[in-house]
Amino acid sequence: MENRLEEVHIGNHIIAIYTDQESKFDEAFKFLKDGLDNNEIIMIITDSLSKDKIRKRMQNDWDVKIEPLESSGIINIKTTEEWYYSHGFPNPFKIKTFWLAMAEIALNRCKNGLRVFADTHDFFEKGFGNDLVNYESTLDSKFDFQFTAICAYDSKDIQSLTPSQRDVLVSHHNIIWK
């Protein structure tokens, strides 16, 4: 896991497939801490951990005061509902526009970009796996703006997709981690 985090660069659109929650979130917190250390705005999107658990883990693992970083927008902790469904059903164009705007805000705040860990499990849990694949198909395999993302998939969710849907996901990410 440590070695593959070394290959992360701004602009990467990574699909990561996890067999368990522990390894998924161990990697998430390392990936996000690297972003914080690299002067990037960071965001985690998940429903699998409460916001309080995320804050406590960041504070304990990273030995930083989370509250001022979160209130200033350097650290962003969102649920899937808050980020993707806040304005109705997810619209791929709007979401891409939000990513671009947040990366621009980061640059305007003298940050090096935006780094996001997006846990996709909630889409599958709500029966929106097909919609997620359609959204992912609108994204480039490598971003041409200051944005780096890991799209985290549970292996059982990947297995629920058709082979052609899995091919779409692979073709729209420039790094694939299994």
State the burial class of residue 120 (Cβ atoms within 10 Å of its Cβ: 0-12, 13-18, 19+): buried
Average pLDDT over residues 51-59: 97
Residue spans per domain, the chain: 2-177
Q: Rounded to an integer, what distance in angstroms lies between the CA atom of residue 14 and that of residue 5? A: 11
pLDDT tens-place string over residues 152-163: 999 999 999 999
Q: pLDDT tens-digit profile of 90-120?
A: 788 888 899 999 999 999 999 999 999 999 9
CATH class for the region spanning 2-177: alpha beta
pLDDT digits (tens, 9 = 90+) for 134-178: 999 988 889 999 999 999 999 999 999 999 999 999 998 888 888
**Strands 75-78, 13-18: pairing kind:** unpaired
**Looking at residue 19, what is its pLDDT?**
96
Q: How far is CA 110 from the centre of its chain?
A: 21
SS3 category, 55 = helix
Residues 58-102: tens digit of each pLDDT: 999 999 999 999 999 999 999 999 998 877 777 888 888 999 999
Helix (H, G, I), strand (E, B) or coil at 147: strand
Name the nearest CA neighbour of 138 among 88, 92, 87, 89.
92
